[in-house]
Amino acid sequence: MQSQLPIYPEQASNFAPQVDALMLFITGICVFFAAGVTVAIVVFFFKYRRKTPDAVGITIEEDARLEALWMIVPLILSMAMFGWGAVVYVDYRNVPRDTLDIYVIGKQWMWKAQQPNGLKEINECHVPVGRNIRLILSSEDVIHDFFVPAFRVKMDVVPGHYNTMWFRPTKPGRYHFFCSQYCGTNHALMGGWVTVMEPSDYAAWLSGSAAGNANPVVAGEKLFAEKACSTCHVANGTGRSPSLNGVYGAQVLLADGSIVVADEAYIRESILQPNAKIVAGYQPLMPTFQGQLTEEQIFALIAYIKSLQSQPVPATGAGIAPPTGKR
Amino acid sequence: MHRTGRLYGQFETLEQQKETAALGMWVFLVTEVLFFGGLFLAYTVNRSAFSTAFGAGSNTLDIKLGGFNTVVLIMSSLTMAMAVWSAQVGKKKLVSIFLIATLGLGTIFLGVKVIEYKQKFDHHLIPGLGFDMRYRSEHPTATDDPKEMAIEKEEVEKTFAVDPDTNAHGQLYFSLYFAMTGLHALHMIVGAGLLVWLIKGSFAGRFTPQYNTPVEIVGLYWHFVDIVWIYLFPLLYLIDRHR
Amino acid sequence: MSTPPTPVRELPHKHYLNATYGAGLRSWLLTTDHKRIALLYLASVTVFFFIGGVLATMIRIHLLTPGGALVTPETYNKLFTMHGVAMIFFFLIPSIPAVFGNFLIPLMIGAKDLAFPKINLLSWYIYVIGGCFVLYSFGTGGLDTGWTFYTPLSSVYSNSAVTPAVLGIFINGFSSILTGLNFIVTIHTMRAPGMTWFRLPLFVWAHYATSLVMILGTPVVAITLLLAGLERMFHLGFFNPALGGDPILFQHLFWFYSHPAVYIMILPAMGVISEIIPTFARKPIFGYAFIAGSSIAIAVIGFLVWAHHMFVTGESTYAALTFSFLSYLVAIPSAVKVFNWTSTLYKGSISWDPPMIYALGFIGLFVIGGLTGLFLACLGLDIHIHDTYFVVAHFHYIMVGGAVMGYVGGLHFWWPKITGRLYPRALSRFAAVVLFIGFNLTFFPQFILGYLGMPRRYHTYPPEFQVLNVLSTAGASILALGYLLPMSYLTWSMRYGRVAGQNPWPATGLEWKTDSPPLTENFEVTPVVTWEPYDFKNRPDLGLATGTPLPAPALGDD
């Protein structure tokens, strides 16, 4: 902490300076208006104090121009706030490419984070400085929210949905994260520390503690066979279901003619509610796996499917839309 | 406030009293639209998410009984409108006759609803009480046509093949079915009570061309309840029906 | 006093308080007189205010130390949930409409009663029944879901008495709906001759807008909470992802009402302020039509902003942009009101009577509350401050600083009309200042806490947040004094206060042209309105000087 009584938290991500600047901008405008109104009221209060008990005030004629003025000026200023806020928000919601993906699961009342190599942490999350980090959030029970004040970012963790958030840490250190969506008894204890490390330290830490942790790709591959996914999703595209080679991140053409990007949320939905989006040219045959897989198993499957990105894509039977440019 | 004759104390004139009552009923109906609106929205969202199970749910409903009830209710709207007209032109006897006819039709509707609910109970389609979408086809009764039951069984199995959670989602369908038709039936029961009150008044000859506000505003209410059913029937019975 | 000194006044011989149709308690419990029903509401909302207030005090004491000084986590969660439920559903929403709206709307428009007096009594009974359900829930296991009842926490995971509470709020909703219905119909059809729409007091306009929100929003939250309750009782899956439902749908339905519900709380308070300001500045309100129109605009646009509570739930970016934009639009009519009130003061003849002090306090707090809404409506900033103490501070500035300040100000303004008596002047001005200071000390530190990142609903917090929390708790004790003072001297004045007379301030509204307290029938003869609203110059009956105020030196305070 910078001083005894700080008024803003440490700035430790790419968003922090942006959000703080926005804060200053809006505060400036608001203080201006609040001060204006307050000064006017105080001055009038003393200056026009009732002189005699039966005195009446002087009627001022209404002025439509004045009314228009104080509608238009605040409107313009608030549109400036809206616009600037929107720019920051859109930046936050549009995740850049080449992120380091960390899976985060919230459950009453703890956080589990899983590094790309499968290393699992509880109420801790290590990230390298200067990399774009994407957190993929899911919940095993109620709604939670992952909030890192020093990064000025948060995102709800909603059961049944995948939400993602991203940030680029700019300063090594240890920063508090909190659950900021009320989730029951020990809501206030559901927090921990994000540790931002130099990339070399991060790599060392990762290899140093990775021993003994199952690689999610391996775990996913095993599950893929166990759950008989491989019976239909044949790699060469000759099965009853589309091949999954190269599908992650690609655009998929659906039976209703629309195109979706096969991201984590899409893959998750396709596992749990296979009939929600049917790939063009295929029948709705796949059973749902709702309630049969834990969140961690779904992560593993997705990790495995992502690893198939480098596999050769069959000419037919992949369900991938005609190339119009990858994400 | 004390009442002088037909004029309640807070009003100046009968005309004002009538206008107030009618406006009050219209505003009330607006809140009712919003009230049912919440349910309709919940229904629509879930219907699009679980169309298979909801379609299977629709198919378990008895379209003959539902269709019959729709006709009954439309007829009752007609008799209600006739009762209002009779009051306005001062045909006191006709008012009573049409009100009784409306009440009779309303009661028939509720009776049929009871039969339908009973069926659902027999078929284990009450949410939370041993709910099972397969039960009906697995436990045919003597009166069932075996051929039809075989088709039904096949269809249920197809549904389960597409959506193994048909029981959970079907339960959602039936929760909404009972919530929506139950709320509608509750409105019918309130309407029937109002009709009994009107019939008593009509026997006493209360309703005249000058004073018929109660008949008119109960009429408004009755038509509204009918219109709700006109939406409920296709939503619950007709979408995705293939038999 | 600013009123001309008169010999000892006496209360009117016959008025609504001493008129009896039956005996004692029965004449109250079976009354259809809107004024008596208003007092029934006054008593019952005070009970809930007291319950909510005690819970709030416990919350603030608990937060004195980072580890939590008073209670277990379970109990703390119940404290803030029950505080929210009692205050929002059973105090703030009914407070001004059901007490002052009921009492004043017929008087202000020159009617003998509301359009449906029996329905009015019915809505009080519904309120009481709903209240009993909720108290039952509080008494048996309490409630720990947060007042927002987010699923699946409330419908599946919570072990507390959710079902009776949800039913209680569902039932209470009908009280609100019927009150709104009664107001709308009354304002349409019961106006006295000459009381055209643009001669209506702004208080009535504000209540018209409020009633629109009540009748359009309340049914939706009623059915939503009912579904959540059914889901809990019968293990259904409307909003439970494990059974295929979607918790986000619950949030949409909930906020579709609960955001406009904020306007149910603040619009009537704005109506109160729009009455007090011209009365004590003694000149017509500036921009009458704009203030009236802005009330309607707030009610209408207020229905289109609900998803700004959900910017970080993962809703689509386009939805977020739309709702952020609309949220900024709704700020404009509020700004219009503040500017018009301030302009009304210009060249007024401003008295320092207690209601005016409360009204100016309201403007101060509402300006802060409203402006901090701009921070939360800002998408980029909301990512950081959503669900932190910044939000807590913001809505307390609106709901407590705004709505409750308006409520207490209204009490001071109309108390002489309701009881026929005045209260100690110096003490009540002192109380207004205590309230203002206590409030700011309690809630301003919470803005900073929120920006520093302290999430809301935390029974324990990191030590770096302690200084601000202690400040906040200190402020709360001053604030409590600020509420206890008016409670005591107003109660005292009911018996010992100076008799007020018909029109002590004097004010221009029709309600001041009848006895204090008024007759059961309100007026001896139906009044005919021939003057414009807030016109002090063409009203010889008020006994005021006309023309410009005399340039004499200020007189000393009494």
C119 and C182 Cβ atoms separated by less than 8 Å: yes
pLDDT of residue C422: 94
Chains with ≥3 CB–CB distances under 8 Å to A:
B, C
Q: Which residue's structure tokens are 């009203």?
A: C539
Which residues of B sit within 8 Å Cβ distance of C?
1, 9-12, 16, 19-20, 23-24, 27-28, 30-32, 34-39, 41-42, 45-46, 49-50, 127-128, 165, 168-169, 171-172, 175, 179
Residue A322 has pLDDT above 80, yes or no: no
Candidates B165, B167, B169, B172, partner chain A, best to mutate (most A CBs within 10 A): B165
**A246 and A220 fall within a common domain:** yes
What's the confidence (pLDDT) of residue B12? 84
> Are A162 and A130 contained in the same domain?
yes
Contact call for B24 and C32, based on CB within 8 A: no
Minimal CA separation from B128 to chain C, in Å: 6
Residue of B nearest to A289 (CA): B164
The answer to the question of residue A165 being in a domain is: yes
Residues C86 and C52: their CA atoms lie apart, in Å, by 6
Specify whether the CB–CB gap between C206 and C274 falls below 8 A: yes
Average pLDDT of A58-87? 92
- pLDDT tops 80 at residue C5: no
From the list C117, C188, C238, which residue is nearest B10 (CB)? C117
- Rounded Cα distance between C32 and C41, Å, is 13
> DSSP assignment of C147-191, as one string?
TT--TTIIIII--S-HHHHHHHHHHHHHHHHHHHHHHHHHHHH-P
CA distance A57 to chain C (A): 4
Amino acid (one-letter) located at B239: I
Residue A321 lies in a domain: no
The torsion angles phi and psi of B125, rounded to 5 degrees, stand at -115, 25
**What is chain C's mean pLDDT, rounded?**
91
The CATH number that applies at residue C429 is: 1.20.210.10
Report the range of poorest mean pLDDT among C7-21, C27-41, C94-108, C282-296.
C7-21
Question: For residue C499, what are the domain limits?
Answer: 34-534
Q: Which amino acid is at C342?
A: T
| Tokens 């929205």 found at | B41
Domain limits for position A29? 15-48+61-93
CB C236 within 8 A of CB B169: no
Token duo for residue B147:
């051929």
Q: Is residue A110 part of a domain?
A: yes
- At A25 the pLDDT is 95
For residue B168, the distance in angstroms to the closest alpha carbon of chain A comes to 11
3-state secondary structure of A192: strand
What b/e string do you get for C277-298 counting C-beta neighbours within 10 Å, with b at 16 or more? bbbbbbbbbbbbebbbbbbbbb
pLDDT for A239 equals: 79
Encoded tokens for A17: 């300076």
Which chain A residues are Cβ-neighbours of C451 within 8 angstroms? 7-9, 23
Q: Which residues share a beta bridge with A122?
A: A112
Distance from CA of C121 to the nearest CA of B (A): 12
Q: Which residue has the tokens 């939670």?
A: A144
- Tens of pLDDT along C145-190? 999 999 889 988 888 899 999 999 999 999 999 999 999 999 999 9
* Cα dihedral: C165, C167, C169, C175 (round 10): -140
CB contact under 8 A, B163 and A275: yes
Higher pLDDT, A147 or B165: A147
Those residues with Cβ within 8 angstroms of residue C208's Cβ, 6 or more apart along the chain or in another chain: C183, C184, C187, C295, C296
A71 and A116 co-located in one domain: no
Task: Give C116's contacts in chain B (Cβ within 8 Å).
Answer: 20, 24
Among A209, A228, A263, where does a domain finish? Answer: A209
- pLDDT tens-digit map of C466-475: 999 999 999 9
Q: How far apart are CA C172 and CA B56, in angstroms?
A: 37
B102-107 LR contacts (CB < 8 Å, sep 24+):
B102/B76, B102/B195, B102/B222, B103/B192, B103/B195, B103/B196, B103/B199, B105/B72, B105/B73, B105/B75, B105/B76, B105/B79, B106/B76, B106/B188, B106/B191, B106/B192, B106/B195, B107/B192
User: In one letter, which amino acid is C420?
Assistant: G
* Residues of chain A neighbouring B161 (CB-CB closer than 8 A): 287
Looking at residue A66, its pLDDT comes to 92
Asked, for residue C248, whether it belongs to a domain, the answer is: yes
Same domain, A260 and A187: no
Supply the pTM of this predicted model: 0.88
Characterize the bridge pairing of strands A144-148 and A120-122: unpaired
Q: Chain A within 8 Å of B162 (Cβ-Cβ)?
A: yes
Nearest CB among C158, C282, C377 relative to A57 is that of C282
Predicted confidence band at C242 (pLDDT cuts at 50, 70, 90)? confident
ipTM of the predicted structure?
Answer: 0.89
CA distance C113 to C109: 10
Residue B67 domain-assigned (yes or no)? yes
- B:37-56 residues touching chain A, CB 8 A cutoff: 49, 52
Question: Residue A291: its chain B contacts at CB < 8 A?
Answer: 165
Beta bridge partners of A124: A193
Nearest to C283 among A52, A59, A154 (CB): A59
- Whether C548 shows a pLDDT value over 50: the answer reads no
Contacts of B224 in chain C (CB under 8 A): none
Residue of A161, A162, A110 lying closest to A134 (CA atoms) = A162
Residue B240 forms contact with A (CB below 8 Å): no
CB contact under 8 A, C114 and B10: yes
Number of structural domains (chain A) is 3
Domain count across chain C? 1
Cβ neighbours for A273, distance < 8 A, ≥ 6 positions apart = A288, A290, B49
CA distance C397 to C447: 10
Most confident range (mean pLDDT) of A6-10, A226-230, A241-245, C124-128 is C124-128
Specify the CATH number for the domain of residue B89.
1.20.120.80
Mean pLDDT of chain A: 87
Q: What size, in residues, is chain C? A: 558
The C-alpha atoms of residue A93 and residue A104 are separated, in whole angstroms, by: 17
Residue B2 forms part of a structural domain: no
CA distance C454 to C387: 9
b/e string for A183-209 if b means 16 or more Cβ within 10 A?
bbbbbbebbbbbbbbeeebbeebbeee
What A235-239 contacts at long range (C-beta under 8 Å, 24+ apart), as own/partner pairs, is A235/A308, A235/A311, A235/A314, A236/A314, A236/A317, A237/A314, A237/A315, A237/A316, A237/A317, A237/A318, A238/A314, A238/A317, A239/A317
Nearest to C117 by CA among C18, C40, C44, C171: C40
Write out residues 346-405 of C within 8 Å (CB-CB) of A: 346-352, 360, 363-364, 367-368, 371-372, 374-375, 377-384, 386-388
Is B163 within 8 Å of A284 when comparing Cβ atoms? no
Own/partner contacts of B216-220, CB < 8 Å, gap of 24 or more, are B216/B18, B216/B21, B216/B22, B216/B84, B216/B87, B217/B21, B217/B22, B217/B24, B217/B25, B218/B191, B218/B194, B219/B80, B219/B81, B219/B83, B219/B84, B220/B22, B220/B25, B220/B26, B220/B29
Q: What is the pLDDT of residue A209?
A: 66
In a domain, C550, yes or no: no
Residue A4 lies in a domain: no
Parallel/antiparallel/unpaired status of strands B7-8 and B3-4: antiparallel
Q: Rounded to the nearest 5 degrees, what angle is found at the Cα of C406, between the Cα atoms of C403 and C409?
A: 150
Q: Nearest CA to CA, how far is C112 from chain A (Å)?
A: 31
Chain B adjacent subunits, 3+ CB pairs under 8 A: A, C
Q: In terms of pLDDT, which residue wins out, B51 or A190?
A: A190
Residue A194 resides in a domain: yes
**Residues A16, B25: Cα–Cα separation, whole Å:** 55
C316 touches chain B (CB under 8 A): no
B141: containing domain: 22-37+51-238
Q: Taking CB atoms and an 8 Å limit, are B20 and C190 in contact across chains?
A: yes
DSSP A214: P
How many residues in total does chain A contain? 327
Tell me the C-alpha distance between B129 and B123, whole Å. Answer: 11
As a whole number of angstroms, the distance between CA C190 and CA C195 comes to 10
Using a CB-CB cut-off of 8 Å, the residues of chain A touching C551 are: 51
Q: Which of A317-321, B27-31, B166-170 has the lowest mean pLDDT?
A: A317-321
pLDDT tens-digit readout, C131-140: 999 999 999 9
Of A34, A86, A93, the CB nearest to C371: A34
A146 beta partners: A155, A179
* Distance (Å) from the alpha carbon of A314 to chain C's nearest alpha carbon: 33
- Flag if A37 and C74 touch (Cβ within 8 Å): no
Chains A–B, number of C-beta pairs less than 8 Å apart:
13
| Beta-carbon separation of A290 and B165 below 8 A | yes
Percent of chain A at pLDDT exceeding 70: 94
Which chain A residue's Cα is nearest to C334?
A: A71
* Minimum distance, in Å, between the CA of residue C460 and any CA atom of chain B: 37
**Digit-coded pLDDT (tens) for C321-339:** 999 999 999 999 999 999 9
Q: Facing residues of A155 across strands?
A: A146
Does B165 reach chain A within 8 Å, measured CB to CB?
A: yes
Q: Quote the DSSP letter at residue C1.
A: -
Q: pLDDT at position C418, please?
A: 94
Structure tokens at A168: 């680029």
> Which segment of A130-139, A227-236, C210-219 scores lowest on mean pLDDT?
A227-236
Which residues of chain A does B167 touch, with a Cβ-Cβ cutoff of 8 Å? none
Query: And the tokens for C409?
Result: 């100000």
Q: Are C328 and A33 inside 8 Å of each other by CB?
A: no
Is C160 among the domain residues? yes
For the sheet containing A173-179, what is the strand order? A124-128, A192-197, A173-179, A144-148, A153-157
| CA–CA dist B45, B47 (Å, integer) | 6
Domain count, chain B: 1
| H helices present in C63-157, as ranges | 73-87, 93-94, 102-109, 117-139
Q: Would you say residue B155 has pLDDT above 70?
A: yes
Q: Do B10 and C190 touch (CB under 8 A)?
A: yes
Weakest-pLDDT range from A108-122, A216-230, B66-80: A216-230
User: CB of B163 within 8 Å of any CB in chain A?
Assistant: yes
| CATH classification of the domain holding A188 | 2.60.40.420
Contact B164, B133 (CB under 8 A): no
- The span from the CA of A68 to the CA of A46, in Å, is 28
DSSP string for residues in A138-183? EESSS-EEEEEGGGTEEEEE-TT--EEEEE-B-S-EEEEEEE-S--
CB spacing of A56 vs C549 below 8 angstroms: yes
Contact B84, B215 (CB under 8 A): yes
Residue B239 CB: number of other CB atoms within 10 A?
A: 12
Q: Are A159 and A143 in contact (CB under 8 A)?
A: yes
Min Cα separation B151/chain A (Å) = 21
- Residue B205, φ and ψ in degrees, nearest 5: 70, 35
